[in-house]
Structure 1
Amino acid sequence: MHLIGMKIDEVRIDGRMDCFQKDLEELNYMGIKAVELPVHGMDVILNGQINHRRMDQVTEILKPFKFRYSVHSPNPLNLMDKEEPKLHADILAASLEFARQVGAKAVVVHSGRFIPEELFTLCPARDIPEREKARLLAQEARILQEVCALYPDVTVALENARPYLSQSPYCYAERLGNLKTQVLDVNRDNVRINLDFGHLFMCATFYDFDPMAEVSQIRGLVAHTHIHDNFGGAVHHFQKQQTHQLPLGKGDSHMPVGWGSVPVAGMLQQILPEYEGLFMMELRSRYFNDIQESKLNLRKIIMQINQGENGVNLSRDLHPDRSTTQKTHHRHQI
């Protein structure tokens, strides 16, 4: 059975256990069957180590619920970090330990960034030497091999990245082919891919490629998904205000399924029926009251695919007309 889940928004709960518990209760009432837990939103990791007092609070709160769980590691975690790679390795290990304690089978990890978002302002876009890229890829692979060997019962799902105007390609995982190569190079059964549908559509618009053909490259490697909607338009890293971006159809909107132009059905058709993981919606907290609608739209798509129906369409074709999305910014090759 394919379970539809919802990620708890780390900014929404902001370390407050009462808000965390309330959101779990609301999701349970909505009939959500799986939840992605943001370890960083609950202050479970402090300075690279498990905060055991908070860990005990979280496990106590989770006791009454019957959700299937996955975990999102801290967003700034970067296994290509040049200054403190051991700290980032410790954060990865702590995230996997948290997952083991709450019974989660998958941990989402943002793929390594050659230049992290936090340094964009200080590091203008530049061509990164191939030797430096190779060194950082090897560093990430080594950390994954070492840490994941300690947690064979938990799968790390490396997430494909979104593009940024004037900064891409800052991350190898803006293209799924590169992400596939890295996963295969790590060569561990518990290192796979988290397919972020919204990020992929933004990259497809930015780099001008077919997102369905891109997904077809990673069949059998997808262990987790992030499903949400947008209109495909890339923005600069400092453009964060949703009320400014939505009228223009720009940004990593994380809207409910069916509200934007992401060809969710077409992407899902590339990984089903082999895919056995969770269908995890990752909506911004501003859409909390729209979770039910998103769930129903996603369920409809999955049912139509499973039934082998043709012409799956929620306000758009499987291959949306590019004229309705942002003009392609084909500026880089990675």
Structure 2
Amino acid sequence: MPLPGVRGIGITAGQPASDLSDLPTLLDKAERLGVDTVELPTCAMDLIIGGRIRRPHLERLKQACAGRSLGYSVHGPLAINLFDDPVRLPRHFDVLKASLEIAGELGALHYVMHSGVMPLQPDEVIDAAYGRQREWLARAGDVARDCGLLLCVETMFDYQPSRLHASLPSRLAREIATIGHAHVWATLDFSHAFLRLGSVGGDYLAEVAALAPFAKHLHLHDSFGRPDAFETVFPSEKFAFGHGDIHLPVGWGAIPWEALMERCVFPDGVLFNIELNPRLWYAVDECLERTRALVERAQTSASR
């Protein structure tokens, strides 16, 4: 039974085949774990073609999800970037709107999208991009409201160190507060924040604690907060060096999980979602056990 204020524990489904033929098996595996929700990676499901929903494929997805003991969240296309050139923002919004409508038809609780990323520019150029992002997120919040779900904007990191700008968690918190929309919240990805602070420096616990009250959705996976420093060949080599966004099981990296649970206060209705590297699903039971232990220690606005 989730603690007061915690919506539950979820896990991201593995990436299905393009025809979704193996999705029922993936959902069966998640159901056997006893999680409350599954996060569907609609970003990798061929559901939108040229900004329009591909209805036969969506029906296939809905059939796979129907009649289960699971709730759902959705992770939309990663390439949606509201920091992009203004000329292309309507195209981004078309895909975002279609993605939100898909999530609504699935009965999803939360829709996850990435916050903006852009090349390093003078401060006034970056501030203008934030302004555009706020405007388009407010519009998207209206769509999310009409679809009966929450839009949760995810913390990102500069995956090309020293070349890209991504929001610090505290900046994303200020942006969400400024938008002030009841259907626009944050997705706090603890590892993404760890990588961002590992690149630019700063107080990781303080940064994450600043965003926690706005984070209805959490992504849990581990890392060492080390940006990619050089090319590796095999996936196991990235694990060996501890570089990048490697989506390790909780407890395998260097994120200070216990300290985070002591420092952070999450909003009522927060959902803990595990994002485990598919290569490491052999450790899913261990990861889930550690996540459940963290949930037992979590503080929410409803439990204080």
Q: TM-score, normalised by structure 2?
A: 0.88
* Number of the residue aligned with 2:27: 24
Identity of aligned residues (%): 25
The alpha-carbon deviation at position 271 of structure 1 amounts to 3.3
Q: What pairs with 1:95-134 in structure 2 (closer than 5 Å)?
A: 95-115=99-119, 127-134=120-127
Secondary structure at the residue paired with 2:57?
A: helix
Secondary structure at the residue paired with 2:211?
A: coil
Counterpart residue identity of residue 203, structure 2: D
In the alignment, does 2:286 pair up with 1:293? yes
In the alignment, does 2:24 pair up with 1:5? no
Moved more, 282-291 or 263-272: 263-272
Tell me if the contact between 2:169 and 2:208 (Cα under 8 Å) persists in the aligned partners.
yes
Structure 2 CA distance for aligned equivalents of residues 149 and 239 of structure 1: 43
* Number of the residue aligned with 1:314: none
Tell me if the contact between 2:213 and 2:266 (Cα under 8 Å) persists in the aligned partners.
no
Tell me if the contact between 1:196 and 1:225 (Cα under 8 Å) persists in the aligned partners.
yes
* Number of the residue aligned with 1:224: 217
Q: TM-score, normalised by structure 1?
A: 0.81
Counterpart residue identity of residue 275, structure 2: E
Mind listing any 5+ residue stretches in structure 1 that lack a counterpart? 116-126, 307-334
Counterpart residue identity of residue 111, structure 1: S
The alpha-carbon deviation at position 89 of structure 1 amounts to 0.2
Tell me if the contact between 2:100 and 2:111 (Cα under 8 Å) persists in the aligned partners.
yes
Structure 1 CA distance for aligned equivalents of residues 193 and 51 of structure 2: 30
Counterpart residue identity of residue 73, structure 2: S
Tell me if the contact between 2:216 and 2:267 (Cα under 8 Å) persists in the aligned partners.
no
Mind listing any 5+ residue stretches in structure 2 that lack a counterpart? 300-304
Tell me if the contact between 2:222 and 2:249 (Cα under 8 Å) persists in the aligned partners.
yes
Q: What pairs with 1:77-92 in structure 2 (closer than 5 Å)?
A: 77-82=80-85, 83-92=87-96
Moved more, 52-61 or 162-171: 162-171
* Number of the residue aligned with 1:329: none
**Change in 2 beyond 3 A, CA 1:245/1:70:** same
- Select which of 152, 156, 162 maps to 2:151: 156
CA deviation string 1:278-325 (max 9, x = no partner): 11000111012221110011112322457xxxxxxxxxxxxxxxxxxx
* Number of the residue aligned with 1:37: 40
**Change in 2 beyond 3 A, CA 1:81/1:163:** closer
Tell me if the contact between 1:6 and 1:280 (Cα under 8 Å) persists in the aligned partners.
yes
Secondary structure at the residue paired with 2:289?
A: helix
The alpha-carbon deviation at position 170 of structure 1 amounts to 2.2
**Change in 2 beyond 3 A, CA 1:238/1:38:** farther
**Change in 2 beyond 3 A, CA 1:148/1:304:** closer
